[in-house]
Amino acid sequence: MKVFEMAAVVDCKDYYEVEYLTSSLNKDFEMSERFLGLSTYTAKEIKEAISNGTIIRINKDYQNIDVMPHDLIFVKNTDTDIDLHKQSLLIKVRQLVTHQQANVSGLMMYQYININNILCDKGYFIHDDNREEVYLKILETGDETLIDKLELYLNARDVVSRSSFLEDKYYRLFTEMKSISTIEDADELYSNFMKQFQDGIK
């Protein structure tokens, strides 16, 4: 029987606050407390934080079966309400971006890299400034095998480019959030990101 690390938490409406760690072996299933499963590394981080007297919160919107390290909010004595609010918003965005990036499967990445190498070997070097021109050259060859590879390449490129674009947007949000000094401004920045995100996936 596999033993899982778990966190006993209190529901604080907008987040969970960790009370203590236990395991699936020791958990009392008759108790009314809420227990959340943790990844091994998450449990390690929580243990270290508890030993340092740090309060640990867990974002309620976590996407995985187990709570992952990026779902944690560490509350220090020096943290202000705006610091915690910004941290919470960034965690939500990070989860959203990571979830979308999970669509980039290993097979998709392999196709993108492998077919790109094949095209380069045949003299077709594709980049943002020349891609339409190169696409037309490949189509004009009439080589069905090459055209099929181009179609697979374009599908893979779209997914990989989207993932890269989201990472760049997240980094910009992270950087801009540092200079925000009010909860209202943080919410506006977050709302703008979410609008652009939703528009981008339609």
Query: 134 and 187: one domain?
Result: yes
CB 134 within 8 A of CB 126: yes
pLDDT digits (tens, 9 = 90+) for 174-195: 889 988 889 999 999 999 999 8
Query: pLDDT value at position 25?
Result: 66
Verify that 43 and 73 share a domain, yes or no.
yes
pLDDT for 71: 87
pTM of the predicted model over 0.75: no
Identify the band that residue 133 occupies on the pLDDT scale cut at 50, 70 and 90: very high
Cβ neighbours of 167 (radius 10 Å): 14
Q: Are residues 70 and 97 in the same domain?
A: no
Q: Give the C-alpha distances (Å, rounded to integers) separating 28 from 21, 22, 60.
A: 13, 10, 23
Task: From residue 159, give the alpha-carbon distance in Å to each of 5, 26, 170.
Answer: 35, 43, 17
How many structural domains are present in the chain? 2
Domain residue limits at 87: 80-202
111 in the same domain as 48 = no
Q: Is 58 helix (H, G, I), strand (E, B) or coil?
A: strand
